[in-house]
Amino acid sequence: MPPPTPLGLDALADQAATRLAAGGSSGMFDATKGALREVLVNAVVHRDYTLDVPIRVDFFTDAVAVRSPGLPERADLEDGAFVGRGSRNPHLQFLFHSLGFGQYNGTGWHRAQALAYEAGLDLRADAVAGDVEVVLGVEPRRRVAVERAERSVGEARTRLTPATREDQVVELLADGRWWAPGDIATNLGIPRSSLTVALKRLHARGRIQPSQARPRAPSQRWRLVR
């Protein structure tokens, strides 16, 4: 099954971004389209071409789901993100990169995450029945923070009291899962420095527990105390 053309991917990204960034600024549209382009290119260059099934793109009211045949060959999926670098189709990856689509140094996923955060979107990758499904959708709190900041001259971030941030963290961790600090900050749309303060306060009050003894361990995760 031949891969789609770069121009076809660009048109699809444009169509999806028009839906997800509706009513937003031009900067929000550009960031949304950029994130979608990275997701679509990743689906094309990393998919398993021994499987005779197409890449599937589903449109929803506030999200787009891209399903790519086959699991990663040189990377892993952990906590909704890709870990590791490498492609099973390096020549195709190089071709797309040469045409100005996607990254060739293994940073495509990180770029997509950064652009999604900039646009107020949530980005997650999961294994689904032997395939990889990436969902890019509107994250309500983060989108509100982005739009509010755009409406305020010189305002880069919303101002939240420490108590409000702690309440948001508790609400997010209510699902019982272990959360990485970066994922918490992305979902809530708050600076990492402010999140660190909130985590320390909640930990001192016995509301949350760490997965590692050292609070700032690289693989540290947090969840509510059961």
Domains of the chain by residue range: 6-139, 160-224
Helix residue ranges, H only, 99-180: 108-118, 140-151, 162-172
Instruction: Tell me what pLDDT residue 2 has.
Output: 53
Instruction: Tell me what pLDDT residue 128 has.
Output: 86
User: At CB < 8 A and 24+ separation, what contacts does 223-226 make?
Assistant: 223/173, 223/176, 223/177, 223/178, 223/179, 224/170, 224/173, 224/174, 224/176, 226/176
CATH of region 6-139 = 3.30.565.60
Tens digits of per-residue pLDDT, 19-34? 787 767 778 888 899 8
Q: In the block, which residue shows the tokens 């076809």?
A: 8
CA distance 61 to 39: 18
Tokens of 47: 């998919």
Tens digits of per-residue pLDDT, 128-184? 888 889 988 887 666 666 666 666 544 444 445 556 778 888 888 888 889 988 888
Instruction: Tell me what pLDDT residue 67 has.
Output: 92
- pTM, two decimals, is 0.57
The predicted model gives 105-113 an average pLDDT of 76
The predicted model gives 188-208 an average pLDDT of 83
Residue 219 confidence class, pLDDT cut points 50, 70, 90: confident
Q: What's 160-224's CATH class? A: mainly alpha
* Helix (H) or strand (E) segment spanning residue 193: helix 192-204
